Amino acid sequence: MEEEFYSIIKLVSGEEILSLVSIDENDGDPLIILQNPITMKMIESPQGIHIKVKSWMELSSDDFFIIRPDKIITMTETKDNNLIEVYNSYIEDDDSIEVHTPSGKIKPSKKMGYISSVEEARKSLENLYNLKDTKES
C-alpha cells in the first residue's frame, strides 16, 4: 500500500469528493481506498464565501471505502492547507452538515443592518411610545 495523501476526486457519476487516499496495488489491479470521504460545496453570500461540508456516504457508519479506478474520471493530490483544515475539522467534529467560514466570524455593522443592541432598541422604542402618549394627552 502506498503512502496516504489528500486528494480531490471526480467520479464518473459527476460527484466530487475530498478524501484521505491510499492506493493498494492488489495483484496489478489497483484499488483506491478512501478514508472519510466528504463532499464540499462553495456557497456565496453577502457575508462572504462559505463551504458546506457533508459525508459522501451519509448513512454509512464506515470510515473506509474502496472504489475501482474505472469509476474515476480524474484525481489530484491537494496540499491546500485550507481544504485540509476544513476536512480535518469536519472529521473531528463528526457532524452531518457543517457550514465553515475559513476567514473567521464577521461582526455585523450598521451597513449590514445592525443598528443597536436589543437593550438599546427597547429603550428607544419605549421613549418613542412614551412621547406619543404625552402628545395625545
Q: Which residues of the chain have pLDDT under 50?
A: 95-100
Record the pTM: 0.61
- CA gyration radius, the chain: 25
DSSP letter (8 states) at residue 3: P
pLDDT score for 110: 59
Q: For 101, how many CA atoms within 13 A lie in the half-sphere containing its CB?
A: 11
Q: How many CB atoms lie within 10 A of CB 119?
A: 8
